[in-house]
């Protein structure tokens, strides 16, 4: 569960996690930010999650180890309250395609955008 190495690539805005047997995962800052385990994003109870919008350009300023069990990621939009356990980071790696599609579907259903410079206006509901 614990990565052997962790590299922050600021230029590409990615966190690279390398596990045993050279399993490599690249997680974009935007993906990590919108799926932050913080109460600000997830809420305090089921059903209280806040959809994160306009995070396409977010970057990672720094990462800090939290004991022997997690990372704290400091994003350039001032978000830094999520503690990413080793288990949750691996889950984000393994389920990246599923979680990303779900996020994009939620944006579309809410008429929101990843881009902070775009406002989506839904004029009619074809359903």
Q: Which pLDDT score is estimated for 1?
A: 85
Cβ-based neighbours of 24, under 8 Å, separated by 6 or more: 16, 17, 18
CA 92, CA 24: separation in Å to the nearest integer?
13
Ramachandran category for residue 96: left, alpha or beta (phi over 0 → left; psi -120 to 50 → alpha):
alpha
More confident residue, 116 or 66: 66
pLDDT at 81 over 80: yes
Q: Which pLDDT score is estimated for 6?
A: 96
**CATH number assigned to the domain covering 5-109:** 3.30.2020.30
pTM score of the predicted model? 0.90
pLDDT at 97 over 80: yes
Beta bridge partners of 83: 72
pLDDT at 70 over 90: yes
Distance of CA 93 to the CA centre of its chain: 11
């Amino acid at each position: 569960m614990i990565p052997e190495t962790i590299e922050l690539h600021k230029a590409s805005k990615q966190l690279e996690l390398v596990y045993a047997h050279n399993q490599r995962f690249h997680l974009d800052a935007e993906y990590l930010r919108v799926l932050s385990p913080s109460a600000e994003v997830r809420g305090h109870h089921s059903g209280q999650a806040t959809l994160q919008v306009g995070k396409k350009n977010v970057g990672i300023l720094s990462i800090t180890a939290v004991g022997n069990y997690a990372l704290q990621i400091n994003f350039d939009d001032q978000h830094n309250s999520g503690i990413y356990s080793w288990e949750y980071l691996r889950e984000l790696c393994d389920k990246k395609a599923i979680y990303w599609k779900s996020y994009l579907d939620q944006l579309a259903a809410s008429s929101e955008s990843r881009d902070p410079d775009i406002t989506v206006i839904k004029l009619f509901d074809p359903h």
